[in-house]
């Protein structure tokens, strides 16, 4: 009797004709065991993530939030505090802040609770990728794919961050499950799940919208045996499901900003960041040194309005930056194509393109991450490439996975590449990597030529993902240390900033921030050495000149401080705080007249700066200009009242009364 051929693409092994009873028993065992194995893997994934949280709980990296994580936390607190609608058109995607706000509303502002919820979602994503694996491949692939995601180090890393990546992975795996189930059953509910999940994904990661036309075309083509009317109704159902989520956001944006935007107004600035002369393929702020989220929106708006010469709406700001990007592509097509190729290589590179926080830095504090770092994106992608070739007979069924993966790679590379932006590619890679691993016992059935082709595919992919593509340096230690300095925690900041200096000794920013931390500890002379080094590396480093000037002034070296203050103002004449610092030094040298001029400049540049008005009043008092002093004190009083500083306001009021009394004495 001829043996039945076993195809790896089938979802379960075909029964043996020799022993139907044992085959049925085997089939029953597989069908009942694989869900147990899948959820066991999810439990293991959760355990790994909990151990990771425990490892990181006492580290500086979990003590503070930086970058987008800090912005999301502040935004979520405002939402939980009652600002559910907000007052501006969304600039960043809103889903994750609202998710955080819901956690804060239920559990209070406790980041550990948010992290616990996230690692649970991460474990559920392992279940979802397994369910997708079963539908597209088989039960064995399902379990292997879930296990690969469970132990994938960036997945563990991202699940613990206060970042939206955890929702990215959950939503893309949910979409894949819905696609697989719809392929199997063609039930409307799975189209609805697909549409709702894709809309939510769009509200978390803007480039996800590229998947909508792909899914519509796939519905119309893949199910050609069905009538055109039926396929069209399915496409409409997908569209309406997405609209049910996105329309309220567009209406909300119109309500607060007068513009219908289905998600955010960030497209233009993001496109320009990744597509301009001198771009390197990863994130760079529009204004050097303004990499924090708090600056991004204002910088994009101010630069655009300055160029156009009039106030602009959020969509007009976005259009301006889109225009700048297209102008670069048209005027320098060769340069742009090389840049695009570089970004494509970054998108598939074995290394994670560093953003605000890097897995390398976190690994120094986590045995879990260190022990698993061998399994990087390059290893998975190499296995996936072999899996794609081995699964070529099932290409029609999994073709939608090819399309979605290619679209996500391209949509990421069109903007700029950082590790968390390419993270949604992982489920696709994991599924095909799992198919390659599951095929291993069947390699003996391949011909020698087929084995050679598989090896060539794997080696070629391994070389491609290992090509050196230089991106931005790792500034994790610098970023965390800088935030600790801002919070006046120099003891915790110093070791991190010293590490940042050792990583990038010729970068001025680590030296500058180390100088700030040393200054906070009272070690002025050593801090001056660091400021001098930062200035040597970058003579036009305004912040270093200003910090050096303040340190010299605090040390009583007023003449040297004046030189540094004036150099800082040469670099940035619109710095109100630097004018105040210069004026303070002039006062200490007995020059009240020139000090008054500097204080006045500060009040003109920053009318809301309390220190400028208050110290100007003090200078007026010292020169017996009481009427002017009263005027400045009244402005300082208004600022103190607006800030709710009642005790300070009472002191200022007493100062005003004193000045009035002195004026009455002079008029007698």
Taking only the tens place, the pLDDT of each residue in 6-59 is 344 444 443 344 455 554 455 445 456 788 999 999 999 999 999 999 999 989
Cβ atoms within 10 Å of 315's Cβ, excluding its own: 18
Same domain, 167 and 26: yes
Mean pLDDT over residues 603-618, rounded? 94
Per DSSP, 206 falls in state: G
- Name the nearest CA neighbour of 292 among 334, 355, 242, 347: 355
Evaluate whether residue 39 is within a structural domain.
yes
- The answer to whether residue 63 sits within a structural domain is yes
Q: Is the domain of 594 the same as that of 534?
A: no
Q: Is the dihedral of CA 150, 153, 155, 159 positive or negative?
A: positive
Query: Residue 22: its pLDDT value, please?
Result: 55
Domain final residue, candidates 465, 494, 516: 465
User: In 3D, which of 377, 382, 477 has the Cα closest to residue 418?
Assistant: 377
Q: Does residue 500 sit in the same domain as residue 626?
A: no
pTM score, two decimals?
0.88
Question: Does residue 485 share a domain with residue 456?
Answer: no
CATH number, domain with residue 499: 1.25.40.10
Task: Report how far residue 394's alpha carbon sits from residue 95's, in angstroms, rounded to the nearest whole number.
Answer: 36
Residue at 10 is within a domain = no
Number of domains making up the chain: 3
Query: Residue 446, Cβ neighbours under 10 Å: how many?
Result: 14
Q: Domain residues for 526? A: 475-573
Is residue 301 in a domain? no
* Cα gap 663→630, rounded to integer Å: 10
DSSP string, 553-577: HHTT-HHHHHHHHHHHHHH-TT-HH
Question: Is residue 555 a part of any domain in this protein?
Answer: yes
Same domain, 87 and 38: yes
Residue 290 has pLDDT above 80, yes or no: no
Are both 390 and 251 inside the same structural domain? Answer: yes
Report whether 165 contacts 58 (CB < 8 A): no
The verdict on 424 and 483 lying in the same domain is no
Average of per-residue pLDDT across 171-178: 98
Is 420 part of a structural domain of the chain?
yes
pLDDT reported for residue 563: 95
- Could you tell me if 484 and 409 lie in one domain? no
| pLDDT of 1 | 36
For residue 191, the model assigns a pLDDT of: 96
Query: What is the C-alpha to C-alpha distance for residues 490 and 482, in angstroms, rounded to an integer?
Result: 9
CA distance 117 to 408: 27
Tell me how far apart the alpha carbons of residues 369 and 159 are, in angstroms, rounded to a whole number: 12
658 inside domain: yes
* Cα–Cα distance list, 513 to 259, 483, 503 (Å): 41, 10, 14
Same domain? 548 vs 654: no
CA distance linking residue 351 with residue 349, whole number of Å? 5
**Over residues 169-176, mean pLDDT:** 98
Instruction: Answer left, alpha or beta for residue 474, where phi above 0 means left and psi between -120 and 50 means alpha.
Output: beta
User: In the prediction, which pLDDT does 121 show?
Assistant: 98
What is the maximum alpha-carbon separation in the chain?
A: 127
Is the domain of 454 the same as that of 515? no
Same domain, residue pair 595 and 554? no
The answer on 127 and 188 residing in a single domain is yes
């Amino acid at each position: 009797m001829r043996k039945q051929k076993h195809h790896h693409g089938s979802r379960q092994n075909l029964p043996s004709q020799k022993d139907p009873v044992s085959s049925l028993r085997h089939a029953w065992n597989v069908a009942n065991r694989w869900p147990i194995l899948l959820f066991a893997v999810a439990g293991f994934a959760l355990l790994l993530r909990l151990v990771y949280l425990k490892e990181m709980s006492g580290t500086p990296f979990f003590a503070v939030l930086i970058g987008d994580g800090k912005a999301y936390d502040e935004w979520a607190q405002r939402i939980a505090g009652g600002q559910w609608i907000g007052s501006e058109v969304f600039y960043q995607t809103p889903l994750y802040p609202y998710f955080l706000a819901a956690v804060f509303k239920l559990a209070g502002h406790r980041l550990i609770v948010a992290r616990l919820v996230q690692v649970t979602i991460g474990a559920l994503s392992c279940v979802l990728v397994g369910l997708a694996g079963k539908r597209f491949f088989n039960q064995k692939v399902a379990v292997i794919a879930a296990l690969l995601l469970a132990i994938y180090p960036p997945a563990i890393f991202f699940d613990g961050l206060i970042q939206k990546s955890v929702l990215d992975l959950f939503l893309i795996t949910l979409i894949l499950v819905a696609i697989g189930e719809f392929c199997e059953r063609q039930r409307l509910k799975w189209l609805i799940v697909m549409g709702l999940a894709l809309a939510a994904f769009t509200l978390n990661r803007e480039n996800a919208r590229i998947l909508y036309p792909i899914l519509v075309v796939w519905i119309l083509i893949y199910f050609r045996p069905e009538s055109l009317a039926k396929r069209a109704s399915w496409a409409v159902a997908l569209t309406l499901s997405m609209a049910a989520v996105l329309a309220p956001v567009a209406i909300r944006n119109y309500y607060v900003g007068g513009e219908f935007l289905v998600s955010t107004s960030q497209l233009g600035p993001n496109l320009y960041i990744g597509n301009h002369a001198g771009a390197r393929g990863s994130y760079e702020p529009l204004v050097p040194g303004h990499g924090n989220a708090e600056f991004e929106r204002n910088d994009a708006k101010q630069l655009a309005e300055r160029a156009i010469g009039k106030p602009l709406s959020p969509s007009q700001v976005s259009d301006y930056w889109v225009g700048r990007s297209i102008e670069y592509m048209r005027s320098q097509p060769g340069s742009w194509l090389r840049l695009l190729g570089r970004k494509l290589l970054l998108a598939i590179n074995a290394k994670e393109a560093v953003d605000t926080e890097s897995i390398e830095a976190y690994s120094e504090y986590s045995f879990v991450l260190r022990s698993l770092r061998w399994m990087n994106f390059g290893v998975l992608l190499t296995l996936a490439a072999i899996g794609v070739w081995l699964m070529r007979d099932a290409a029609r069924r999994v073709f939608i996975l090819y399309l979605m993966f290619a679209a996500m790679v391209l949509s990421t590379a069109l903007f700029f590449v950082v590790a968390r932006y390419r993270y949604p590619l992982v489920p696709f890679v994991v599924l095909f990597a799992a198919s390659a691993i599951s095929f291993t016992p069947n390699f003996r059935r391949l011909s020698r030529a087929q084995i050679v082709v598989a090896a060539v595919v794997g080696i070629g992919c391994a070389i491609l993902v290992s090509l050196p593509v230089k991106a931005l340096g790792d500034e994790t230690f610098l970023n965390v240390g800088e935030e600790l300095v801002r919070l006046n925690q120099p003891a915790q900041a110093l070791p991190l900033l010293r590490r940042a200096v050792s990583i990038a000794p010729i970068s001025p920013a680590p030296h500058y921030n180390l100088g700030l931390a040393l200054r906070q500890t009272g070690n002025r002379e050593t801090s001056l050495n660091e400021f001098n080094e930062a200035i040597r590396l970058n003579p036009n480093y305004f912040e270093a000149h200003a910090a050096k000037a303040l340190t010299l002034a605090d040390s009583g070296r007023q003449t040297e401080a004046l030189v540094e203050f004036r150099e800082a103002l040469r670099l940035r004449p619109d710095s109100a705080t630097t004018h105040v610092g210069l004026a303070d030094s002039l006062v200490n040298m007995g020059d009240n007249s020139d000090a008054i001029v500097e204080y006045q400049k500060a009040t003109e540049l920053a009318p809301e700066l309390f220190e400028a008005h208050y110290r100007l009043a003090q200078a007026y008092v010292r020169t017996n200009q009481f009427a002017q002093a009263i005027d400045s004190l009244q402005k300082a009083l208004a600022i103190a009242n607006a800030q709710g500083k009642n005790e300070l306001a009472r002191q200022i009021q007493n100062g005003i009364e004193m000045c009035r009394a002195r004026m009455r004495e002079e008029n007698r």
